[in-house]
Amino acid sequence: MPDKIDSPNLFYLCGPTLAMKIKDLTFKKFISESEIRQKVSELAAQINHDYAGRVPLFLPVLNGSFIFASDLLREISLDCRVSFVKHSSYQGTASTGQLKTLIGLNESIFNHDIILVEDIMDTGLTLSKVAEELRSLGTRSVEIATLIRKAPAREHAVQPKYIGFDIDNEFVLGYGLDYEGLGRNLRDLYQQA
């Protein structure tokens, strides 16, 4: 039974495979909303266990992590704080390698246990730079929770403690991730067809 079509941009690519055209690119359904929900619960359970007795500060990295962060945080049963930072290195579908500085951190993070929440890690350069900046501010610990890690066999600039899905080196969107600003509102994850 094909999935319900919930967007005017969705069409069937072949058989029951749902596809989505955004600007010049076609994307096909990759990881479903229910698989994501299950994985997010598992990650939250690990964090609840690992941080028992502590009060971590979650730092979602905007924009892409806003949906992952809001789903993850609602499964966190610890006392915790949340603040948002922004740091982007992407234009279109390929990393520009140009990192901007971290913005949005208005509170003291000295002696805090930080959990950076990221939608997707590619080279890891963005996150390693953010983690480095945070450590220089005297944090007690800095760990990373990423929904997706690309190309797990490749050398990454940083190792996340919490990883939702390991995927091949392909461009994905949906569930907060965009292509040229579009597609963040999709409930499932899509990959380039």
Binding mask 122-141 for ligand 5GP (x = CB under 6 A): xxxxx---------------
Asked if 120 interacts with ligand 5GP (CB under 6 A), we say: yes
Number of separate helices (H) and strands (E) present in the chain = 3, 13
One-letter amino acid identity for 95? S
Contact between 56 and 78 under an 8 Å Cβ cutoff? The reply is yes
Round to whole Å and give the CA distance between 32 and 148.
Answer: 14
| Residue type, position 47, single letter | I
HSE value, Cβ hemisphere, 13 Å, CA-based, for 64 = 24
Does residue 122 have an active-site annotation? yes
User: Which residues within the stretch 73-102 sit at the binding site for ligand 5GP (CB under 6 A)?
Assistant: 88-90, 95
**30 scored as a contact of ligand 5GP (CB under 6 A):** no
Chosen residue from 56, 64, 160, 164 binding ligand 5GP by CB under 6 A: 64
The verdict on 121 binding ligand 5GP (CB under 6 A) reads yes
- Kindly give, in sequence order, each residue whose CB lies less than 8 Å from that of residue 142, ignoring residues fewer than 6 positions away: 114, 116, 131, 134, 135
User: What SS3 state is found at 128?
Assistant: helix
When the beta carbons of 27 and 51 are compared against ligand 5GP, the nearer one is: 27
Task: Find the catalytic residue in 119, 122, 166, 168.
Answer: 122
Among 68, 171, 175, 190, binds ligand 5GP (CB under 6 A): 171
Task: Report the nearest approach of ligand 5GP to the CB of residue 1 (Å).
Answer: 29
User: Which residues lie near ligand 5GP (CB under 6 A)?
Assistant: 64, 88-90, 95, 118-126, 171-173, 177-179
Residues classed as catalytic = 122
